[in-house]
Structure 1
Amino acid sequence: MSKTVYLFGSAAPPVLEVDRAVEELQRRGWDVCLGLTPTAAGWLGDRIRELEALTGHPVRSAYKRPGAADAWPRADVILFAPATFHSINAWALGLTDRFVVGVVAEAIGKGIPTVAMPCVNAAYAQHTQLDVSVARLRAMQVEVLYGEGGFVPNPPGERRPYPWQLAFDAVDRVPARD
């Protein structure tokens, strides 16, 4: 029986590497379902069919219609990476107008283990709401890989390698569900 991870990404540069993230999770034995914010889906628009072929599931960026069947199997864990300043704050505040934010918000109440790794620059990191949101999510049992041992913000405009490995390792540590 395979384990299912929902891999969610928002519009930050590491989302352009999401195919490699999918492949690594699959190599580790995960069935991957990919969800994107609308902007991230736009960035990857010409690659969506390729990503669907890679995962074997539809790539989602919008809520399904009421009564429609689920297109994905049940998640054993959710990984939200990269998670932007907007997505982290919206999630912590319960603002669920975006599909991926709504799913992770609901996952808290459903007890689905969730890992998040932000991707914000140092200018955004100076905004006090980010620390409040990270603390709020951690208080709700979300593993937020931010700061020491996680994502460390870089200066605006500077790109450093995104520490995907930290996120993959955190997903692998989640105990199997019955």
Structure 2
Amino acid sequence: MTAIQVCPARSAKKPFLYVVVCAAGIAGEVAQLITAAQERGWEVGVVATPQGLGFIDAPGVEAQTGYPIRSAWRSPGDPRPLPDPDAIAVAPATFNTINKWAAGISDTLALGILCESYGFGIPTAVLPYVSSAQAAHPAYTESLRRLRDMGILVGAHEPHHPKSGGVAGQFRWEEALALLMPRLSQPS
């Protein structure tokens, strides 16, 4: 069993990626994104929405990353469990999270981090995972437009059939890394 670290001294020059996980049936496959990021030299920490936490193998993710999963705010004076991110990938991103984020609603730790990261200029990619019924709602289209206008890198996703939960194994986890890499190569 891997010991969970609390904001340890980081490896020299290794970038740190936050993976924000929302409540979607495919969230249990997030290890694919973590593995891909680690193979590319990233350290990874996971932030789950409160509902998203129930969709992932928390002990497995913590063992894989070496960090605790964050889902709630820490109390003043508590140690910081994760280093500051160099980039953020929101995958899978649900209808609820996309719309709240675009509206500036910060009622969960995950949304608070996403809203604040805009002000810090942290490169952020989002991989939507919504049904075609949700994607038809005008708020969704407007929210994606607003996120793009904010400089958020929005991945391509074909909405799945309502009530199907999508097809496991077809979510393009690594697209988040492909979207982020050009941004990380640009001088500030």
Query: TM-score, with normalisation over the residues of structure 1?
Result: 0.91
- Pairing 1:175–2:184 present: yes
Q: Is the Cα–Cα contact under 8 Å of residues 77 and 174 in structure 1 kept in the other structure?
A: no
Unaligned runs of 5+ in 2: 1-12
Per the alignment, in what secondary structure is the counterpart of residue 117 of structure 1? Answer: strand
Instruction: Report how far residue 174 of structure 1 moved.
Output: 2.6
Q: Which residue of 1 aligns with 2:147?
A: 137
Question: Aligned partners of 1:33 and 1:121: how far apart in 2?
Answer: 27
User: Quick one: distance in 2 between partners of 1:174 and 1:13?
Assistant: 29
Unpaired runs of 5+ residues, structure 1, are: none
Aligned positions of 1:45-84 closer than 5 A: 47-84=57-94
Question: Aligned partners of 1:158 and 1:65: how far apart in 2?
Answer: 35
Deviations 1:97-133 (A, max 9, x none): 1111110110000111111111001000010000111
Amino acid across the alignment from 2:78: A
CA RMSD for the aligned pairs?
1.5
Instruction: Work out which of the residue numbers 49, 55, 73 in structure 2 matches 1:43.
Output: 55
Aligned length: 172
Q: Who is 1:29 aligned against?
A: 41
Q: Distance in 2 between matches of 1:91 and 1:138?
A: 12
Deviation at 1:40, TM superposition (A): 1.2
Identity of aligned residues (%): 34
Is residue 29 of structure 2 the alignment partner of residue 20 of structure 1? no
Instruction: Look up the equivalent residue of 2:166 and give its one-letter code.
Output: R
Question: Is 1:91 aligned with 2:98?
Answer: no
1:128-161 CA-partner distances (Å, limit 9, x unpaired): 000111111111111111xxxx111121116231
Structure with the higher helix share, 1 or 2: 1
1:119 aligns to 2:129 (yes or no): yes
SS of the residue 2:82 aligns to: coil
Moved runs in structure 1, 4+ residues, more than 6 A? none
